[in-house]
């Protein structure tokens, strides 16, 4: 499936065969990231972000890698990647490249029908619903199955010694871009609904 940022300068491909699961995350940090970017359409009407969990080698940037930018909500937080050209969110990764996981933010220009056909409909699995801005139905069984689909392959990859690489990490396991780590005050303001 083809991916693109809003302005089209960052382009890539997502391999549906390398996906683990699809979920909507309602955590305060995903909401804060959307506010940091200042982009409408990242969050749904209840404050959720549609995330496709994928093996890192299932995502390839084919153009515009020079526009990749990275931020973090704190010195130990997730690395949150976006296209600096138009502030489109791209993905979330661990700081540790040994954690073989990438969460692609699916507001990246993927045809919704193609995502639904390959991965099932949005909102089937909801996580961190306590931070939702409106009531969200949650299914513990679906959440458990989603977790198994993600953590099983992640643990197997760790045991095999696989590491995340390009486009988000270099050959030495360092982030390919220096993350902008925002202050606690900025993070708290973004979590409350303000801007940084």
**What pLDDT, on the 0 to 100 scale, is given for residue 110?**
63
What pTM was estimated for this model as a whole? 0.92
Strand partners, 62: none
How far apart, in whole angstroms, are the C-alpha atoms of residue 128 and residue 72?
Answer: 19
Beta bridge partners of residue 61, listed in sequence order: 12
The residues pairing with 50 across neighbouring beta strands, listed in sequence order, are: 24
The reported pLDDT for the residue numbered 108 is 64
The per-residue pLDDT string of the chain (196 residues; one tens digit each, 9 = 90 and over) reads 888 999 999 999 989 899 888 899 999 999 999 999 998 889 999 999 999 999 999 999 999 999 999 999 999 999 999 999 999 999 999 999 999 999 998 766 566 777 788 887 887 889 999 999 999 988 888 888 888 888 888 889 888 989 888 899 998 999 999 999 999 999 999 998 865 5
Do 112 and 119 form a contact (C-beta atoms < 8 A)? no
Say what the pLDDT of residue 26 is: 95
Three-class SS string for the chain?
CEEECCCCCCEEEECHHHEEEEEEECCHHHHHHHHHHCCCCCCCCCCCEEEEEECHHHEEEEECHHHEEEEECCCCCCEEEEECCCCEEEEEECCCCCCCCEEEECCCCCCHHHHHHHHCCCCCCEECHHHCCCCCCCCHHHHHHHHHHHHHHHHHHHHHCCCCCCCCECCCCCECCCCEECCHHHHHHHHHCCCC
What span, in angstroms and rounded, lies between the C-alpha atoms of 187 and 193?
A: 10
Pairing of strands 88-93, 102-105: antiparallel
Dmax (CA) of the chain: 44
């Amino acid at each position: 499936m083809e991916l693109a940022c809003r302005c089209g300068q960052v382009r890539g491909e997502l391999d549906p065969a390398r996906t683990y699961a699809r979920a909507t995350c309602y955590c305060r940090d995903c909401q804060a990231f959307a506010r940091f970017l200042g982009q409408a359409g990242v969050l749904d009407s209840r404050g959720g972000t549609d995330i496709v969990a994928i093996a890192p080698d299932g995502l390839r940037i084919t153009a515009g890698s020079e526009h990749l930018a990275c931020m973090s909500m704190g010195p130990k937080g997730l690395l949150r990647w976006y296209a600096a050209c138009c502030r489109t969110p791209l993905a979330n990764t661990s700081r540790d490249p040994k954690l073989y996981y990438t969460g692609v933010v699916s507001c990246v220009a993927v045809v919704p029908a193609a995502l639904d056909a390959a991965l099932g409909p949005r909102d089937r699995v909801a996580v961190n619903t306590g931070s939702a801005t409106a009531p969200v139905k949650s299914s513990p069984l679906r959440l458990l199955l989603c977790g198994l689909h993600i953590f099983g392959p992640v643990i197997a990859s760790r045991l095999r010694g696989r590491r995340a690489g390009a486009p988000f990490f270099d050959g030495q396991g360092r982030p390919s871009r220096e993350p902008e780590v925002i202050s606690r005050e900025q993070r708290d303001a973004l979590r409350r609904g303000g801007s940084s």
